[in-house]
Structure 1
Amino acid sequence: LRSRKKSREYTRRSILGGYLPSIDLSVSYSRFGERLATDGRIDPLPDEETQTIITATWNLFAGFKTARDAAAERAEILALEERVLDTKQDLLLQLRQAVEVHTVSAEQISVSKTAVAQAEENYRITNNQFKQRVADATDLLEARTLLTRSRSELTSSIYNHQRSIAAIERVIESKLKDSKSKSAGPSGTESKQETEQ
């Protein structure tokens, strides 16, 4: 948009140049005739000529075409300035929203990791109770469902966090330095629990 605006400004300046006169300068040099006549006399006619011509052209009235063209270009420039401002405001709003989602999702990752750890411990206890016939299959299934739901919420939080990072990077047009450190995956206890299954 900025390049288009600059191009329109140059076009407007070119149009306003129509108010100025155009000046042409031409210089010519000619040589003609003979130095000596046939009877040995010097030719009285000049044998060289230099001409300098300056032509100035000034369009005094063009039916207001120049003024209207310049006004149209000025209107286009103003419209492009508004679009640049609107784009800046839109990008600023997107950045604020992405930072807000980034903050919330980072906190949600921490909460989800705690919930996964608690669900894993609950499943471990319920599984031991089931093996000792203290808990039934329904209790074990509920514990497993809670663990699966907790892991799903953790994965969703990590996904939202990564999306917010991508949105921020798109708006600022550069990479964030600590984009991987805060969104580390689920804890190692999860993989240990998977191997027990």
Structure 2
Amino acid sequence: MKKIKYLIVLLMGTTVLAQQKPLTLQESLEIGLKSSKEIKISESAVTSAEAKLTEISSNMYPQLSVGFNYNHLSDVPIQFASPLFSSTGDPINALYASATIEQPLFTGLKLLSLRNAAKYGKEAAMVQNTQTMNQKALAIHTAFWNLYKSERLVDVLRENIKGLEKHLKDTEEFFKNGLATRNDFLKLKVRVSETRTKLIEAENRLEIARAVYNKNLGYPLDQKTEIMVENLDEISKNYDYNSILKEAINSRSELVSTKYKSMAAEEKITAAKSTWFPQIAAFGSFNYLKLDGTQLLKSDWTNFWMVGLNVKWDIWDWWKTSSLAEQAEQQYNQIELSKQILKENIEIEVYKNYLSMQSEASKVDVSKLRVESAEENYRIINDKYETQLATSTELIEADSELLDARTKLITSYINYKIAKVYLEKSIGRKIY
């Protein structure tokens, strides 16, 4: 029971209280995602896609415009008269104002297709935003657990040094009393020095891990952040490969995004072919006209209105429409092929992460047994050393074996946590 408790303490560790409240994994994710520049860029892309959809949709509704024109002709070079028109020779002022409304009636499905393409583009941008958030969350998960691992390894080394220093002090007393040789004393002294060197290196790696963690949260690199692990869940291997692969194919944001891009590309093919058909629009206008210096119209405001249809049909454009349609079709084909490649890559990724998680889970079980064995061996050798039935060499070897076992237990458990997160992400699940 004591050994089990020690394993729990070893993994959980202790966090030194600082002025800043220690952050949990969930709090780290919230802070990191909120401050992420990558996510802000992705959100901007969503906003841009929404604006594009509004822009395209606006072309389907009536367009209202107003205009005003003023012209002044100072001198009339030729004076003439006719039953319809006569000039007074005075300067001519022409003022014209109009209000026009136009409504597309038929565009060969161009506007409808472009609107649908923009709609699918917006959906793709939203899915890509989710993908960006998941990718950032993965970086935060990794940084958090690497920082936790570095802290625990430093704790193990510090604890190991305390034990060695006690043995060194005892051995010094044994040496003074003739119960130990100078060689025993020097060997332990060297062992303490070597372990202190390892501690210095571990503390350096800890600060690097903290800097990476701070960077992912948007903090200054040298900020003394502290983390807290609320609970350590049990090792789980309950993943059915066929089930998670099917889930990945249906859920991966990359595939969903590519599906929307493919649908948008298909709509753009229809839009490119639209100029094969006539473009028809209805219009109506209300006009004001005033001419001074001519008897064509009385020098007063004249108003009139018009309604009608605009019809345009490009009969021959030197294969322009066909070329645009071909480009759109090839873009669609490229997206479809990319989707197949992406699917294959996802299958490999899921399989790789599945095997990695299974492997790391097995390593945790083996590491626990190694720690238990190393602790028992160390206890026996330590008891013998206290009664001088074991040499300092045997004690150092037992200590080294125990330190190595504890280090590998921490490393294997954190590697399992990271491997599990990678698997969850590759399946297509949200990890934030």
Deviation at 1:5, TM superposition (A): 2.8
The yes-or-no answer on 1:21 pairing with 2:278 is yes
- Paired residues in the alignment total 158
The yes-or-no answer on 1:83 pairing with 2:338 is yes
User: Out of 121, 125, 128, which is 2:376 matched to?
Assistant: 121
Deviation at 1:9, TM superposition (A): 2.3
Q: CA RMSD in A?
A: 2.5
Superposed CA offset, 1:7-31 (max 9, x none): 32222211111111123445799xx
**Aligned counterparts of 1:16 and 1:155: Cα–Cα separation in 2:** 63
**Higher RCO, 1 or 2 (CA under 8 Å, sep at least 6)?**
2
User: Out of 367, 370, 374, which is 1:112 matched to?
Assistant: 367
1:51/1:108 Cα in 2 relative to 1: closer, same or farther (>3 Å)? closer
User: Out of 308, 322, 329, which is 1:74 matched to?
Assistant: 329
**Aligned counterparts of 1:74 and 1:154: Cα–Cα separation in 2:** 55
The yes-or-no answer on 1:63 pairing with 2:340 is no
User: Out of 381, 391, 401, which is 1:136 matched to?
Assistant: 391
1:72/1:117 Cα in 2 relative to 1: closer, same or farther (>3 Å)? same
Does the 8 Å CA contact 1:101/1:160 hold for their aligned counterparts?
no
Name the SS for the 2:430 alignment partner: coil
**Aligned counterparts of 1:28 and 1:170: Cα–Cα separation in 2:** 59
Superposed CA offset, 1:159-196 (max 9, x none): 221121111122223349xxxxxxxxxxxxxxxxxxxx
TM superposition score normalised by structure 2 = 0.34
**Aligned counterparts of 2:393 and 2:352: Cα–Cα separation in 1:** 43
Superposed CA offset, 1:57-111 (max 9, x none): 3222110110111111111111111222222221221111111011111111111
The within-5 A match list for 1:159-178 is 159-171=414-426, 172-175=428-431
1:51/1:123 Cα in 2 relative to 1: closer, same or farther (>3 Å)? closer
Identity %: 22
Stretch of structure 1 that moved more, 85-94 or 159-168: 85-94
1:127/1:65 Cα in 2 relative to 1: closer, same or farther (>3 Å)? same
1:146 aligns to what? 401
1:104/1:51 Cα in 2 relative to 1: closer, same or farther (>3 Å)? closer
**Aligned counterparts of 1:101 and 1:151: Cα–Cα separation in 2:** 21
1:95 aligns to what? 350
Answer with 1 or 2: which has the greater Rg: 1
Does the 8 Å CA contact 1:120/1:147 hold for their aligned counterparts?
yes
**Aligned counterparts of 2:285 and 2:403: Cα–Cα separation in 1:** 95
1:28/1:165 Cα in 2 relative to 1: closer, same or farther (>3 Å)? closer
Unaligned runs of 5+ in 2: 1-257, 287-304
Deviation at 1:128, TM superposition (A): 0.2
Name the SS for the 2:321 alignment partner: helix
Name the SS for the 2:280 alignment partner: strand
Name the SS for the 1:134 alignment partner: coil
Deviation at 1:113, TM superposition (A): 0.3
1:160/1:28 Cα in 2 relative to 1: closer, same or farther (>3 Å)? closer
1:11 aligns to what? 268
1:149/1:52 Cα in 2 relative to 1: closer, same or farther (>3 Å)? closer
**Aligned counterparts of 2:285 and 2:381: Cα–Cα separation in 1:** 108
**Aligned counterparts of 1:58 and 1:103: Cα–Cα separation in 2:** 65
**Aligned counterparts of 1:103 and 1:149: Cα–Cα separation in 2:** 22
Does the 8 Å CA contact 1:126/1:139 hold for their aligned counterparts?
yes
Superposed CA offset, 1:16-65 (max 9, x none): 11111123445799xxxxxxxxxxxxxxxxxxxx9875554322211011
